[in-house]
Structure 1
Amino acid sequence: MATARFTITRTFAAPLARVWAAWTEPEQLAAWFGPKGSAGSMLAFDLRPGGEWRGRMEAPDGAEMFSKFVFQVVEPPTRLVWVHGFADAEGNRARAAFAPLFPLEMLTTVLFSEAEGGTRIDLSWEPIDATPEECASFAEMMASMTGGWSGSFDQLDALFAE
């Protein structure tokens, strides 16, 4: 069974250096990263291969979720790669509460490039060492992932408009 791969592309009306900063400076990330209506905070951010990005997100209903991302590649200003997953409050890897069969970890790749009128982002997610059931769950959630990332990108657009 082939592993599903999620991709999304968006062009932002901001120069490459500004978009890179919005993805790599914790204060800016906290302002836009996460689904619309959620509030988040950075618990740790160490931008280097092997460094962790840990965060807390609060949904509109008050539910908390924690994330832990481990950077694999940091190539300013064109490429970020990290292992993406959910965590408990202490940063230990945990299953997604909203979807127990969602893959435990995903490889996230974000490519940044200059484009007419701004900067293009090409983002991809691929399950890591996922079971066939986890891959199926991942594939079934593609529409939800598109909605989540689109909402985050809308918030990033709003940040650039300030």
Structure 2
Amino acid sequence: MPVIGTEIDREALTLVVTAEFIATPERVWQLWADPRQLERWWGPPGWPASFPRYEFEPGGEARYSMSGPAGASSAAWFRFTAIDEPRRIELIDGFSGDDGEPTDAMPSMRMAVEIEPSGGSGGAVTLMSVRTVFDSNDDLERITSMGMVEGMTAAMNQIDELLA
């Protein structure tokens, strides 16, 4: 399993999920740069993601949806605020309404993805950490009570299959 740690820090209002992959940082970067690859792991098992819009550049936006069992669905968006290939991606992640447009009915979150080589024995090993920062403890509790930790862990645990 690639996820090696999860940490919720209620004082810092953060959730960090860290995974380790047997791949180069450049290969792990492609999991974010290519929306077709991102679609294959961003949704947890049983909730496949679709990215009909994906502008992977600072200031660019992405729109995505995930469809689940029994017709359930969830729509959301990214706004990329900084990209430093192949090391760091900063974005805002938020929910969308039925019309596909961003909504403030649910909190948005700031995310920083860090990709770095970690050495390892006998080959390229890369760490990827996804740090999510919330605006308040209420937002952190609301989103984590919806299963964000479990969902991100399950989603990131699918990446090994893509890298094989």
- Same fold at TM > 0.5: yes
Instruction: Judge conservation of contact 1:3–1:135 (CA < 8 Å) in 2.
Output: no
The reply on whether 1:51 has 2:52 as its aligned counterpart is no
Number of matched pairs: 151
Which of 67, 72, 88 pairs up with 2:76?
Answer: 67
- Aligned residue number for residue 18 of structure 1: 27
Q: CA deviation at 1:2?
A: 4.4
Unaligned runs of 5+ in 2: 1-9
Unaligned runs of 5+ in 1: none
Separation (CA, whole Å) in 1 of partners of 2:140 and 2:148: 14
- Aligned pairs for 1:109-124 within 5 A: 109-117=112-120, 118-124=125-131
Separation (CA, whole Å) in 2 of partners of 1:135 and 1:22: 26
Instruction: Judge conservation of contact 1:7–1:124 (CA < 8 Å) in 2.
Output: yes
The reply on whether 1:126 has 2:133 as its aligned counterpart is yes
Separation (CA, whole Å) in 2 of partners of 1:147 and 1:134: 17
Q: CA deviation at 1:111?
A: 0.3
- Aligned residue number for residue 141 of structure 1: 145
- Aligned residue number for residue 91 of structure 2: 82
Instruction: Judge conservation of contact 1:106–1:126 (CA < 8 Å) in 2.
Output: yes
Instruction: Judge conservation of contact 1:108–1:126 (CA < 8 Å) in 2.
Output: yes
Instruction: Judge conservation of contact 1:87–1:94 (CA < 8 Å) in 2.
Output: yes
- Aligned pairs for 1:86-105 within 5 A: 86-94=95-103, 104-105=107-108
Q: CA deviation at 1:78?
A: 0.2
Separation (CA, whole Å) in 2 of partners of 1:27 and 1:115: 26
Distance verdict in 2 for CA 1:80–1:17, change over 3 Å: same
- What RMSD in Å do the two structures reach over aligned CA positions? 2.1
Q: TM-score if structure 2 supplies the norm length?
A: 0.82
The reply on whether 1:154 has 2:157 as its aligned counterpart is yes
